[in-house]
């Protein structure tokens, strides 16, 4: 970036934009920096001998607008703590503003009490981020949209649907496509993608006998002879996804593909996907996909352009919501 604040794309960033990254997803951070046309700021995030987080910022950031790119993916608590300590370092170095760019927001599934004596961890994480000095949060496809209300600072909630839709529009589905929600809670997400793709929707009704397990009860909608595209925000153990795909095939779907924003893929999830009737799983890079989690069935799309555009609009005081349309 030049001294007058004009980036490589000729966009005025006011000379104060500063992109930093922790260790959670440096590849995504590099892509965002390239999209914006700036370099990542000189920042070191490591460990002291006793395991505590060490943060060193190479140059003055006094009066700068800081964007810390750090999804809170596995190892969740380490990445979350790194983010909080980076924010504290920036606050104490007199940064003008501190935006946490958290493409994947951990603990989002703990957004309410479902039984006695349970925590609401999503709210606790929001409190910690504000206490650490965050002045804004950018995130992608929160598991529960109401988590935005847990913050007393602005939250820009991006959707992956436009990025996924752009990819699927390049495929030849004709009028055979049906977008499928894997549960009743994901209907809004399915409808959003279906609107982009001008396709009908179907809904899988399931119950969870135990945490991490799902049992398909019925399917609402017509999938017979269709190409079924299941859409969800998170693929964790992949149990729900694979069971849903099996049910869709049983009811006559001629092909099943899936799309998820956040590829957690814990335990033997990749093996489940590889052995399932799912022909393709499309995910985004909100969470990095290490070599052991890569598969010929898995396609990764980048959210870097969408996140980069939001950062540029924030810096130039333009509407962010217009980007979502």
Return the active site residues: 206
Show the CA angle centred on residue 232, arms to residues 227 and 238, nearest 5°: 90
The encoded tokens of residue 9 equal 């794309």
Contact (CB, 8 A) for 218 and 194: no
The encoded tokens of residue 96 equal 């003008």
Q: Which residues contact 42 (CB under 8 A, 6 or more apart)?
A: 57, 58, 59
Cα 189–chain centre separation: 14
Tell which residue, 201, 209, 212, has the closest CA to residue 234.
212
7 phi, psi to nearest 5 deg: -85, -175
Contact (CB, 8 A) for 121 and 108: no
The position carrying tokens 């599934």 is: 109
The position carrying tokens 């593909």 is: 257
């Amino acid at each position: 970036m030049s001294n007058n604040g004009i980036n490589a794309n000729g966009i005025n960033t006011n000379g104060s934009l500063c992109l930093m990254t922790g260790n959670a997803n440096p590849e995504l951070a590099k892509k965002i920096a390239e999209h914006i046309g700036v370099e990542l700021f000189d920042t070191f995030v490591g460990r002291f001998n006793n395991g505590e987080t060490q943060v060193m910022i190479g140059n003055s950031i006094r009066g700068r607008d800081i964007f810390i790119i750090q999804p809170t993916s596995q190892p969740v608590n380490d990445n979350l703590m790194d983010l909080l300590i980076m924010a504290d370092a920036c606050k104490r170095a007199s940064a003008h503003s501190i935006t946490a760019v958290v493409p994947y927001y951990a603990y989002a599934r703990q957004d309410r009490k479902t039984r006695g004596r349970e925590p609401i961890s999503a709210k606790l994480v929001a409190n910690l981020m504000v206490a650490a000095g965050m002045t804004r949060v950018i995130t992608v496809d929160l598991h529960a949209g109401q988590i935005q209300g847990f913050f007393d600072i602005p939250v820009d909630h991006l959707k992956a649907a436009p990025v996924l839709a752009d990819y699927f529009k390049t495929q030849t589905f004709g009028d055979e496509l049906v977008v499928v929600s894997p549960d009743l809670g994901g209907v809004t997400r399915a409808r959003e993608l279906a609107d982009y793709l001008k396709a009908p929707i179907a809904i899988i009704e399931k119950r969870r006998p135990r945490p991490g397990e799902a049992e398909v009860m019925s399917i609402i909608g017509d999938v017979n002879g269709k190409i079924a595209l299941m859409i969800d925000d998170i693929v964790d153990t992949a149990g729900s996804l694979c069971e849903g795909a099996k049910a869709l095939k049983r009811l006559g779907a001629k092909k099943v593909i899936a799309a998820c924003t956040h590829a957690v893929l814990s335990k033997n999830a990749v093996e489940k996907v590889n052995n399932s009737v799912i022909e393709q799983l499309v995910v985004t890079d909100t969470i990095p996909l290490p070599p052991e989690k890569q598969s010929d069935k898995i396609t990764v799309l980048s959210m870097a352009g969408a996140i980069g555009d939001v950062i540029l609009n924030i810096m130039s005081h333009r509407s962010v919501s217009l980007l979502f349309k």
